[in-house]
Amino acid sequence: MPKFALIAKGTLEGRKNIKELKQRFIDVSNIFKAKEAKILNAYAMLGQYDYLFITEVPDLEAAFELSTMISSLGTFTCETCPVMPLEELYNLI
């Protein structure tokens, strides 16, 4: 299954309700499950972005849909990038 890095930044609304953060992550996880996708790892970040999710998603269309659905919650803005293990890249070159 293809992997994607979803990098997210909390919105002003999300920051105002930071105590609800755990529930928002549960909501995001449930959205992924409903689309037969998985969050493999989740990280808090310092810098330009606040969160990083490493995900497995069935296809590119589902990745677009998930990113849009998460952004529509109003808690996060998202960017989604396809990723590949370095070993797979080495095999391509």
Query: 14: domain range?
Result: 3-92
| DSSP character at residue 48 | S
pLDDT at 18: 76
**Any idea what the CATH number is for the domain that residue 45 is in?**
3.30.70.920
Which stretch of DSSP H or E encloses residue 15? helix 12-16
Contact criterion met (CB below 8 Å) for 81 and 2 = no
What is d(CA 4, CA 40) in angstroms, rounded to the nearest whole number? Answer: 10
pLDDT at 36: 93
Q: Which residues pair with 83 in a beta bridge?
A: 3
What is d(CA 3, CA 61) in angstroms, rounded to the nearest whole number? Answer: 13
pLDDT at 46: 95
Going residue by residue through the chain, which has 93 residues, state the pLDDT in tens, using 9 for 90 and above: 999 999 999 888 777 777 778 888 888 899 899 999 999 999 999 999 999 999 999 999 999 999 888 888 888 888 999 999 999 999 998
pTM (two decimals):
0.83
Total domain count for the chain? Answer: 1
Residue written as token pair 């999710």: 53
